[in-house]
Structure 1
Amino acid sequence: MGESNLSVVLHKVNDIRLENTAIREPGKGEVQLRMARVGICGTDIHFWKHGFIGNLKVASPFTLGHETSGIVSKLGEDVTTLKVGDRVALEPVMTCGRCDKCKIGRYNLCPKMAIFGIPPCDGGLAQYHLHDANLCYKLPDSVSLEEGALMEPLSVTIHAARRAGITLGSRVLICGSGTIGLLSLLVAKSYGASQVCVMDLNESRLKLAKSMGADVTLVPTTKDARGLADEIEQCMNGKPTISLECSGAPLCVQSSIYATDSGGCVLCIGLGPDDVTIPFVDAVLREVDVKAINTYPNCYPIALALLQSGTVDVKQIITHEFKLEQSLEAFELVGRGEGIKVMINCE
């Protein structure tokens, strides 16, 4: 196997490096993985460019990468569910498993939750990585390693659809047509939404959204929240019952509240400024629920089922693929706002 483990390590703001890290042996309940595919996420870019998200800060060097798939290369003690050579997707959320939140299945709210690839935990953008065997999902032959890596953002949108209550006949507005917006489109359609409108300033992304099943698309022409809500209603020939805010832009958060039908739901996925002013009274008087999500409890099995059945085709959003040795070039491309999902091939 050799001594080297080429890894993409973030040291501090604007300081990302390709360097060799240690190859570790799996402990009890762990597997060692030869990493296969890793997607670059907007979160990775934010830590690289700004050094923090909320109270999560880059305080010491760590390996990036939380959208991952790999191939089992070694088994730790007591691992019986996997074998060497198995292709797996890795759920990155690690919790205590014992607190009240974990016990009721909302382990994404565990006070001791950590996410690999999010500081301070090392991620999987490397040649080799260790992971809890219980958080490895074996991929059937019909699911590719690229699709396995995309199970992480797909799970985000599944959790969003469930918390927002998307069901048969829902009219859904999606603000933003990046990775999460486009996957939200696929999931909303698979959950029975009768109409989906995708809104963005990027017309080429909206063209892709249309090809992926969006009923209508909208390029905003105003920066007034009420005016934008009127544009949304006109575009959809009525108000959406559910709005999925994937951009984090304050204007989109505000306009989605105004636009959503009374008794509906605005589900916030995108991360923007720490503080955002919202039309609170309008939401209260019309009983518009404003919700948010954090990661994706119990969603990986659903994501795998959607992929295995062919219900969703996530490969449509992959626009670029780079070798691990080209990772810095890949990050520069994403940092310039190019592409949608950029995939790193670690093999």
Structure 2
Amino acid sequence: MGSMPQSTTMQAVRYHGQRDVRLETIDRPDLRPGSVRIAPKFCGICGTDVHEFLGGNNLIPKPGKPHPITGETSPLTLGHEFSGIVEEVADDVTTVKKGDRVCVQPIIYDGDCRSCKRGLVNCCDQNGFVGLSGWGGGLCESTVVPSSCVKLLPDNVPLEVGALVEPLSVGWHSIKMSPYKDGDSAFVIGGGPIGLAVVQALVGRGCKNIIVSEVSGKRRAFATQFGAHHVLDPLSQDVVEEVLKLTDGQGADVGFDAAGSQYAIDTAFEALSARATLVNIAVWEKRAQLNMNELVFRERSYLGVATFALGDFEEVIQTISDGKMEPSGMITKTIKLGEIVDEGFMSLVNDKDNHVKILVDVEASLAATAH
């Protein structure tokens, strides 16, 4: 007997617009030259997904204004933090094979702009993301992505952890871009998912003095759990005074702003040493004000970083495989595809302090549907 013919349709979580996300049956995508078909297993929900859900199309291209690389608009399949199993590869793909356990580096880039020609694909003039700009996403039964996006997972890295590589790579990249070196003290402002990713990346790099400022008690506990050495409450402590105490009066050598607030910038610069660098990872909703004299007279630097660059995923995967990062504690809830709005997005809105990363278990969702 031959194998059963594969269904031409599949389940997918689709973004239609503001507060309009649906689990739908759609056509399975076709395999393209240079691409890989993956059966997603676990997919994380990102703050960006929640912002698009609450506020409407921002990064997700609006109907009538297709993404310049993918040509797609909403409605499209969500999910850009995911792992899965390779189902099929195009004839011209040799980097992975059917059955491989993988995660997806979701940056979409044109390869042709002035940034891409220098290898800076995360700074592409037209960049986008799998699961936000088109080309499928991880919240579905089967997705097709360019082979360059597909990263092998070692046998000792579980698929659940594979879905954490994307946010961890944001933290890893921010440290690589900073002047951080062995022996430096690091000050992290904000203990949300990205701030906690920075903490874990600092642990993976062997930092011995990680200081975190965070208003939420639960998130301060998470920061301690993930390896922060000192955790401060800006509502009850003088953060600048405390950082100075914890750095022998010098101030921190490098700062990471994962909060994106005016208070965070002002506090961070005061808490940094002369010639220190503040790295901005946060996406800002409005313009910030800088006290330029705080930079000029102490020769401090302010550095913007965007997502992750070529090689970051591989380094994070290796660091996890080597046991220098143990990020499974980031997973605070696992849900099914049909629960994406109520148990996913709304949990991150109404109960965000108690969650770091909510994962969608795609396989369990499909098994439940089948029964």
TM-score bracket, shorter-length normalisation:
over 0.9
- Structure 1's consecutive aligned runs of 4 or more residues displaced over 6 angstroms after TM superposition are none
**Using the alignment, how far apart are the partners of 2:136 and 2:62 within structure 1?**
12
Please tell me the residue identity of whatever aligns with 2:164.
L
**Using the alignment, how far apart are the partners of 1:322 and 1:340 within structure 2?**
14
1:248 and 2:264 correspond: no
1:10 and 2:15 correspond: yes
Larger mean CA deviation between 121-130 and 209-218 belongs to 121-130
**Using the alignment, how far apart are the partners of 1:248 and 1:173 within structure 2?**
14
Residue 25 of structure 2 corresponds to 20
Residue 188 of structure 1 corresponds to 202
**Using the alignment, how far apart are the partners of 1:90 and 1:259 within structure 2?**
37
Residue 278 of structure 1 corresponds to 290
1:35 corresponds, among 29, 40, 55, to: 40
1:304 and 2:304 correspond: no
Query: Is the 1:218–1:235 Cα contact (8 Å) retained in structure 2?
Result: no
2:54 corresponds, among 43, 49, 58, to: 49
Please tell me the residue identity of whatever aligns with 2:34.
G
Q: 1:4 to 1:325 in 2, by over 3 A?
A: farther
1:291 corresponds, among 303, 308, 318, to: 303
Residue 103 of structure 1 corresponds to 117
**1:235 positional shift:** 5.4
Please tell me the residue identity of whatever aligns with 2:356.
I
**Using the alignment, how far apart are the partners of 1:163 and 1:200 within structure 2?**
23
**Using the alignment, how far apart are the partners of 1:327 and 1:56 within structure 2?**
18
Residue 335 of structure 2 corresponds to 322
Number of aligned pairs?
Answer: 343
Summarize the alignment of residues 190-229 of structure 1 with structure 2, pairs less than 5 Å apart.
Answer: 190-221=204-235, 228-229=239-240
Deviations 1:253-305 (A, max 9, x none): 22112211110000011123221112122112211110111121121111111
Larger mean CA deviation between 25-34 and 95-104 belongs to 95-104
**1:26 positional shift:** 0.7
Summarize the alignment of residues 113-128 of structure 1 with structure 2, pairs less than 5 Å apart.
Answer: 113-119=127-133, 122-128=136-142
1:343 and 2:356 correspond: no
Residue 169 of structure 1 corresponds to 183
Q: Please, which runs of 5 or more residues in structure 1 have no aligned partner?
A: none
Larger mean CA deviation between 278-287 and 196-205 belongs to 278-287
Larger mean CA deviation between 141-150 and 76-85 belongs to 76-85
Secondary structure of 2:175's aligned partner: helix
Q: 1:58 to 1:179 in 2, by over 3 A?
A: farther
Deviations 1:70-128 (A, max 9, x none): 11112222112222111111110122223332232211112132211224554221111
**Using the alignment, how far apart are the partners of 1:202 and 1:301 within structure 2?**
32
Q: Please, which runs of 5 or more residues in structure 2 have no aligned partner?
A: 1-5, 64-73, 364-371
Deviations 1:226-276 (A, max 9, x none): x64334434555311111011112211221122111100000111232211
Please tell me the residue identity of whatever aligns with 2:272.
T
1:230 and 2:256 correspond: no
**1:212 positional shift:** 2.1
Query: Is the 1:197–1:236 Cα contact (8 Å) retained in structure 2?
Result: no
**Using the alignment, how far apart are the partners of 1:335 and 1:119 within structure 2?**
23
**Using the alignment, how far apart are the partners of 1:189 and 1:35 within structure 2?**
29
Q: 1:307 to 1:279 in 2, by over 3 A?
A: same
Residue 82 of structure 1 corresponds to 96
**1:186 positional shift:** 1.5
What percentage of aligned pairs have identical amino acids? Answer: 28
**Using the alignment, how far apart are the partners of 1:143 and 1:110 within structure 2?**
30
* CA root-mean-square deviation: 1.9
